[in-house]
């Protein structure tokens, strides 16, 4: 069976659905710290705190997983409000799962990293797979430490754990929680509800972003790639499109002409966004496992508005 830990978040919600479609609902066990509002007929869910080692041991013994997806984490903005909780959840949670995966000889493991591993002295444009990485958020520090750990577990214990440095992810099915890139999701909800949005990042804050459909397809592609083709055992750079709040607002106005964006100017998330690259270089992922995004800014804007209208 496949176990996903942290299945109720923005990525987990859709990755769980994709795994159920690919492997069969009866073969996917989802878990999170709280029950989801709804889950459909036949779906298996376990309420698990990734910091509760006894519960994790019982989960692995009950389901004998062949694959494990660890999505439980605290994101950048919330992590700056509760840095010790972020460190504990992101690092102890990862170590708990890594050790159980080794013990249970789990065949394949997935763990998400982030562009948050880059910092103020990393290259700002077309940031490489390898470069100076001086993250200055607890979330970014935990993701960089996590990358070092997964490469270590791959080398020392031959654990086949694979990872992607996700940019900001845009989706409509499940809301993001506590991120810095979340403005690019909130803006669509506000535009449709009030025809206006007060953006917590400045108009020229360029960030690398990715539409969820591309993120999910890329994740499954990485997990299906032959082990021998993977030259990176820390975490792969990938990106969809880079844009600023101004670019996104202009794109939304093409569909909602009365939409108005305003900018607040003292949000703590500005400093986090300013420490991250504005664009990412992802040729290694393209060469190693065929990474190829499909959604550009126009297409994702149309898709978000169409789907949120009905939602």
Which sequence positions are flagged as catalytic? 139
Taking CB under 6 A as the criterion, which residues in 98-117 touch ligand VAH?
114-116
String of contacts with ligand VAH for each residue 111-150, x by CB under 6 A: ---xxx----------------------x-----------
The mark string for 63-92 relative to ligand VAH (x by CB under 6 A, - otherwise) is ------------xx----------------
* 19 lies in the site for ligand VAH, by CB under 6 A: no
Q: Which of 6, 179, 206, 293 binds ligand VAH (CB under 6 A)?
A: 179
Q: Does 167 bind ligand VAH (CB under 6 A)?
A: yes
Nearer to ligand VAH by Cβ, of 108 and 143: the residue is 143
User: Can residue 176 be called a binding residue for ligand VAH (CB under 6 A)?
Assistant: yes
Contact flag: residue 181 with ligand VAH (CB under 6 A): yes
The three state secondary structure string of the chain is CEEEECCCCHHHHHHHHHHHHHHCHHHEEEEECCCCCCCCCCCEEEECCCCCHHHHHHHHHHHCCCEEEECCCCCHHHHHHCHHHHHHHHHHHHHHHHHHHHHCCCCEEECCEEHHHCCCCCCCCCECCCCCCCCCCHHHHHHHHHHHHHHHHHHHHCCCEECEEECEEECCCCCCCCCCCCHHHHHHHHHHHHCEEEECCCCCCCEEEEEHHHHHHHHHHHHHCCHHHCCCCCCEECCCEEECHHHHHHHHHHHCCCCEEEECCCCCHHHHHHCCCCCECCHHHHHHHCCCCCCCHHHHHHHHHHHHHHC
Rounded to a whole number of angstroms, the minimum distance from the CB of residue 167 to ligand VAH is 6
Closest to ligand VAH by CB, 63 or 180: 180
What residue ranges bind ligand VAH (CB under 6 A)?
Answer: 75-76, 114-116, 139, 167-168, 176, 179-181
């Amino acid at each position: 069976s496949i176990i996903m830990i942290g299945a109720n978040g923005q990525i987990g919600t859709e990755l769980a659905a994709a795994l159920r479609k690919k492997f069969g609902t009866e073969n996917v066990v989802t878990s999170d710290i709280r029950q989801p509002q709804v889950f459909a007929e036949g779906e298996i869910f376990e309420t698990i705190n990734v910091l509760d080692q006894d519960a994790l041991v019982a989960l692995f013994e009950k389901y004998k997983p062949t694959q494990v997806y660890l999505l439980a984490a605290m994101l950048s903005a919330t992590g700056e409000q509760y840095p010790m909780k972020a460190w504990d959840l992101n690092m102890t949670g990862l170590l708990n799962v890594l050790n159980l995966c080794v013990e249970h000889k789990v065949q394949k493991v997935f763990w998400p990293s982030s562009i948050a591993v880059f910092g103020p002295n990393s290259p700002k444009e077309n940031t490489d797979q390898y470069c100076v990485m001086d993250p200055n958020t607890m979330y970014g520090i935990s993701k960089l430490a996590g990358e070092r750990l997964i490469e270590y577990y791959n080398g020392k214990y031959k654990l086949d754990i694979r990872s992607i440095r996700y940019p900001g992810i845009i989706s409509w099915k499940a809301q993001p929680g506590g991120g810095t890139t979340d403005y690019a999701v909130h803006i669509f909800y506000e535009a449709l509800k009030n025809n206006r949005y007060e953006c917590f990042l400045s108009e020229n804050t360029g960030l690398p972003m990715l539409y969820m459909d591309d993120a999910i397809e890329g994740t499954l592609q990485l997990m299906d790639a032959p082990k021998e083709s993977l030259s990176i055992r820390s975490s792969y750079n990938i990106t969809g499109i880079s844009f600023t709040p101004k670019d996104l607002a202009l794109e939304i106005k093409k569909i909602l002409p009365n939409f108005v964006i305003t900018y607040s100017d003292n949000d703590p998330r500005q400093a986090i966004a300013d420490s991250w690259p504005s664009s990412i270089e992802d040729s290694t992922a393209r060469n190693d496992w065929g990474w190829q995004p499909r959604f550009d800014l126009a297409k994702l804007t149309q898709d978000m508005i169409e789907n949120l209208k009905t939602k």
